[in-house]
Amino acid sequence: MGFVWHVALRYFRSTRADAHIRVLSSLTAGGLAVGTAALVLALAALSGFQNHLLTDLARHTPALQVELAGSGAGVPGEAAEEPAALVAWAAATNGVSAVQELLYARGWLAVGASVQQVEILGFEKAPPVWIPVGDRAARGLIVPIAVAQKLGLAVGETVRVFSPRPGLTPLGPRPRTRTLPVAGIYRSDRADYEELPVLLPLEEAAALFAGGDRRLDLTLEPEAEQELVAGFLRETVDPAKATVVGWREANRALLFVLRLEKSLVFSAVVLIVAVAAFALLASLSLVLSSKRSEVGALAAMGAPPARLQRIFLALGALLSVGGAGLGGALGAGVAAFLDRFRVISLPPDVYIVEYVPFLVRGSDVLIVVASTVVFTGAASLLSARRASRLDPVEAMRSART
């Protein structure tokens, strides 16, 4: 063992002997244990939630979306950009397992005298997976429960659907309209939709809302690399005709909020570690002032200032590593336990999971370790520098008075 650790270990042992220093150094270790445990737990809870949320989101969001341009021009009678060619092109791309064409528009539903403006979603083949309807083969209107309640609708009743764009008839412009049966009512508590859409088959929607926004939702083969496929599509498509968007891009705002949430929680909890670092600073200062004359003697015997500094850095590490390590292990253990046995339950109608999930991520633990090292290192450095600046004659004189 080198000189530095030899001395640091003895000083560490001597912190047990002095009552004041013992209290302060126990406070340091305890504070660091609590701080790191709280940090690991808080980040694990957030990671657990976000992991659930993102898995759920990924399940409900198509891997890639192709937004078709040229639609929505709004000129009555003008056909939207023919999407058939693009659908064929997307379907033929390597890694794409399915293509669904969708149409978005605003329209009205009318039942008797009541009229309601709604979001319209035309779907090809079956309703998209993220709309939780029981009967996927239903042909007709699929209405969110809020709209159904407002208009007093039940399955089997008929509704008139209006398009805001008039159609040209030999008798002059007339509103385009269709009467369709309600085939299903759905309930969804997905938070990322301001207004849940009324669904109807694509051919009906296309006839009513020729100028609506068209989009292709691509499902990828399980082994396909989303970024690679997206890159290929972007290169081959005419940007004037279509834009390719990945689900991370499509959910950029949400992902940003999640990251922000994590850094805010981290900043709040890391304060515990900061306070513990102050306790460490106090302990080290107390050790230094009780060892002043000895440090002076070491300097007089030729220990260079840098080595004296390292003694106190090592002492800071000895005083903090135990507490921080214990706290980190404790936090991770408690998080794993709470997750494994689903200890904390949540009301099922409010959250997407019925218990608080915890996920201990290596990267989170690394951040906790790094921040603890930064705080305790700064505290140690502050007192270590004072040790290295000690004037040996002054310091040794202090012992006799």
User: CA–CA separation, 214 vs 101, rounded Å?
Assistant: 7
User: CA–CA separation, 380 vs 25, rounded Å?
Assistant: 13
Q: 35 — phi, psi (to 5°)?
A: -60, -50
Q: Which is nearer to other proteins, 8 or 276 (CB)?
A: 8
Closest distance between other proteins and the C-beta of residue 22, in Å?
15
User: CA–CA separation, 103 vs 123, rounded Å?
Assistant: 7
Show the tokens assigned to 186.
Answer: 């759905």
Residue 313: closest CA among 287, 290, 335: 287
Q: Which is nearer to other proteins, 343 or 393 (CB)?
A: 393
Q: Which is nearer to other proteins, 26 or 290 (CB)?
A: 290
- Amino acid in position 363: S
Specify whether the CB–CB gap between 165 and 211 falls below 8 A: yes
Q: Which is nearer to other proteins, 189 or 391 (CB)?
A: 391
Residues at the interface with other proteins (CB under 8 A):
2-3, 6, 10-11, 13-14, 293-294, 296-305, 307, 391-393, 396, 399-400
The pairing of beta strand 242-246 with beta strand 64-68: antiparallel
Q: Which residues are within 8 A (CB) of 95 and not within 5 positions of it... i.e. 6 or more apart? A: 220, 221, 224, 225, 228, 229
Residue 383: closest CA among 302, 320, 301, 325: 320
DSSP state of 140: S
DSSP 94-127: TTEEEEEEEEEEEEEEEETTEEEEEEEEEESSS-
User: CA–CA separation, 112 vs 42, rounded Å?
Assistant: 54
Closest distance between other proteins and the C-beta of residue 391, in Å?
8
Closest distance between other proteins and the C-beta of residue 301, in Å?
5
Q: Which is nearer to other proteins, 115 or 393 (CB)?
A: 393
Q: Which is nearer to other proteins, 172 or 302 (CB)?
A: 302
Q: Which is nearer to other proteins, 167 or 305 (CB)?
A: 305
Angle formed at CA 67 by CA 65 and CA 73, multiple of 5 degrees:
165
E strands within 231-358?
242-246
Classified as helix, coil or strand, 13 is: helix
- Helical residues (DSSP H) of 152-251, grouped into ranges: 202-208, 226-236, 247-250
User: CA–CA separation, 51 vs 359, rounded Å?
Assistant: 8
Please compute, for residue 78, the number of CA atoms within 13 A of its CA located in the half-sphere on the CB side.
11
Q: Which is nearer to other proteins, 2 or 132 (CB)?
A: 2
Count of H helices and E strands in the chain?
12, 9
- Cβ count within 10 A of residue 3: 12
User: CA–CA separation, 199 vs 141, rounded Å?
Assistant: 6
Specify whether the CB–CB gap between 353 and 41 falls below 8 A: no
